[in-house]
Amino acid sequence: MISRLAITILTVALLGAGASTVAHAITAEQCDYFQVGGKVAICHATGSVRTPYVRMVSSVQACEAHAAVHPDDYIAASDPQCQGGLVCLSENAPCDATLPCCDGLTCGTSGVCTSP
C-alpha cells in the first residue's frame, strides 16, 4: 500500500515540480543508512523565513522519492530538530559532494565518511 506522503510527493512531482539541476542533498543510500525501523527523519525545506524547515518522518521508499523532487531537504541525523544549522554526515554514512562529513572525517573513495 502506498502511504499518503508518497502519493503527495508523486502528485507534486507530476504537477510540475520539474527536474532540478541542483544536486540532491538526500541520496537513496542515505535513506537506507539512516532508517530506523523502516522510517527516516527528514528536514523538509518549507521556503518560509519564519520556519525554514519542518521535521518529517517517512518510509525509506518515500524518502527516496521525496529526495528526487526536494533538493534542499536533508536527513535529520545531525540536526534532529531541523533548525537548519550545520548539517554533516557521521562516520560510515554514505556521502557525496552535496553534504559534508562531520569534522575530522572525509568522503572517501568508497563513498562513505571515514577518518583520514
Q: What would the pLDDT profile of 15-72 be if each residue is shown by its tens digit?
A: 333 333 334 478 889 999 999 999 999 999 999 999 999 999 999 999 988 877 888 8
pTM > 0.85: yes or no: no
Over the range 9-34, which residues count as b (16 or more CB within 10 Å of their CB) and which as e?
bbeebeeeeeeeeeebbbbbebbebb
DSSP string, the chain: ---HHHHHHHHHIIIII---SSPPSS-HHHHHHH-BTTEEEEEEE---SSS-EEEEEEEHHHHHHHHHH-TT-EEGGG-TT-------BPTT-B-BTTBPBPTT-EE-TTSBEE--
